[in-house]
Amino acid sequence: MIEKKIIGIAYGGYTSEYGISKQSAENVFELLKEKYSALYKINITIDRWIVEDRFNNTYELNKKDFTFTKEDENIKFDCIFNAIHGAPGEDGTFTSLLDSLKIPYTSCSSKIAALTYNKKETNLFANQFGIAVAPNYIIKKGEQINIESIVEKIGLPCFVKPNSGGSSFGISKNYQKKEMLSSIEKAFEESDEVLIESFLEGREFSVGIIPWKGKYKVLPITEIISDNDFFDYEAKYKGKSKEITPAIISPSLQKEIETTLFNLYEKFKIDSFSRSEFIVVDDVPYLLDINTVPGLTSSSILPQQIEAAGICLKDFYDSLLVNPIK
């Protein structure tokens, strides 16, 4: 049966994740195009917002009311599938606009998106509830940088990363003080704040959680073993890592990770699907990141986990549109 709902799949954004977002949107579009006759992609850039139909026709989107004109008809969307990684899709800005226009969408609420997109604030919030995080240090653009003070607090090696962002853009692992300044400058290209975190020696895991059949379901856990020094962009998207799903772990460790994830969801009040990363040190999961608009490309982890759980990707994506954030 062909649904007559008017669905937009938003992609693009204002960050280096534009290309990954486009791949995610194309994958979702291919799976849903037979179900929804009025299915469009929405290309979001700083300069223009463009609606694209299945025949590659394009239409200018009115940013004020989120409508477009096609064959003299003013068209309004019934629901938006948010596939924008990074700003403005993952920081709450885009979904705040949709909230104001009462247009439902698939990702988490704007308030939660704004919190989880800020790594430092996420760490502070999580730590309040006993969720372990790495020691960290924040630097704002324009502040004086004291490398000696940073290293004294954080130690070496350490990670330098944009405080807001994803897909490992702008992240460096530093072994020496002399590397720090250039790494900080690199991270500032992606964000106005830079987070410096202590290196934790342990096993890295990624785990998704999705709304499914009326409750939240933890997906099979993935262990990440990078061929590179850490799980960087090449490891994520160019095959330079092993992603073992389901991870080969003890029942007790699996339970510990799942319990930590449910604790995150309860305390953060996350109201849609997400994927979180942990480093496990001495059987304690340390939170690295929460991705509320995770990658949905053919090489992304969340789709692998959904399929490993025996769930059809097409059915899952459709379920998000049936029960979106209001």
What domains can be seen in the chain, in order of their start residue?
A: 3-108 (3.40.50.20), 114-132+201-322 (3.30.470.20), 135-198 (3.30.1490.20)
Question: What stretches of the chain adopt beta strand conformation (E)?
Answer: 3-12, 36-44, 49-52, 58-60, 67-70, 73-76, 79-82, 132-133, 136-140, 158-162, 172-174, 193-198, 203-212, 215-218, 222-226, 241-244, 274-281, 284-291
pLDDT, tens digit, for every residue of 258-303?
A: 999 999 999 999 999 999 999 999 999 999 999 999 999 988 999 9
What is the pLDDT averaged over residues 233-241? 50
For residue 112, give both structure tokens. 């939660």
* Coil, helix or strand at residue 212: strand
Given this model, what pLDDT does residue 30 score?
Answer: 97
Given this model, what pLDDT does residue 326 score?
Answer: 67
Given this model, what pLDDT does residue 165 score?
Answer: 65
Name the more confident of 79 and 186: 79
What is the pLDDT averaged over residues 207-223? 95
**Mean per-residue pLDDT over the chain, rounded:** 90
pLDDT, tens digit, for every residue of 241-263?
A: 789 999 999 999 999 999 999 99
Given this model, what pLDDT does residue 4 score?
Answer: 75
What is the pLDDT averaged over residues 203-231? 87
* Whether pLDDT at 80 is above 70: yes
What is the pLDDT averaged over residues 100-107? 96
What one-character DSSP code corresponds to residue 206? E
Contact 161, 187 (CB under 8 A): yes
Name the more confident of 233 and 324: 324
**What is the distance between the alpha carbons of residues 29 and 2, in angstroms, rounded to a whole number?**
14
Contact 193, 136 (CB under 8 A): no
What is the pLDDT averaged over residues 155-180? 83
Given this model, what pLDDT does residue 237 score?
Answer: 45
**What is the distance between the alpha carbons of residues 101 and 215, in angstroms, rounded to a whole number?**
28
pTM: 0.89
* Whether pLDDT at 235 is above 80: no
Residue 276, φ and ψ in degrees, nearest 5? -120, 150
Confidence of residue 1 (pLDDT cuts 50, 70, 90): very low
Contact 297, 237 (CB under 8 A): yes
Lowest mean pLDDT across 67-71, 119-123, 184-188, 318-322: 184-188
Given this model, what pLDDT does residue 324 score?
Answer: 87
